[in-house]
């Protein structure tokens, strides 16, 4: 799963989103700064999102996902 980080959040859904964003960004050979630029958000937002921090707005998260060619799709809990 996710690599540990002192500043990471601990919500499983946020951590899953964080891992997905980081993996998609690195697969696309984008730096955090590159992704911030194409998404129209600050690099600090990318860092917060990739660390599973809960303070990232939904709008910002959606812009980042769009920048990666991804979307957010709610699914029932297991």
Q: What is the domain-level CATH number for residue 63?
A: 1.10.260.40
pLDDT at 8: 60
pTM: 0.85
More confident residue, 75 or 30: 30
Number of domains in the chain: 1
pLDDT at 68: 98
- Write down the H helix ranges in 1-78: 12-27, 32-39, 43-50, 58-67
Q: Check residue 5 and give its pLDDT.
A: 47
| Residue 1 counted as domain residue | no
In a domain, 73, yes or no: no
pLDDT tens for each residue of 25-73:
999 999 999 999 999 999 999 999 999 999 999 999 999 999 999 999 9
The three-state secondary structure class of 77 is: coil
């Amino acid at each position: 799963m996710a690599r540990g980080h002192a500043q990471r959040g601990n919500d499983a859904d946020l951590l899953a989103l964080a891992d997905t964003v980081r993996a998609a960004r690195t697969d696309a050979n984008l730096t955090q700064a590159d992704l911030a630029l194409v998404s129209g958000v600050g690099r600090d937002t990318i860092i917060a999102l990739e660390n599973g921090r809960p303070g990232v707005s939904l709008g910002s998260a959606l812009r980042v996902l769009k920048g990666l060619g991804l979307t957010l799709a709610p699914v029932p809990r297991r």
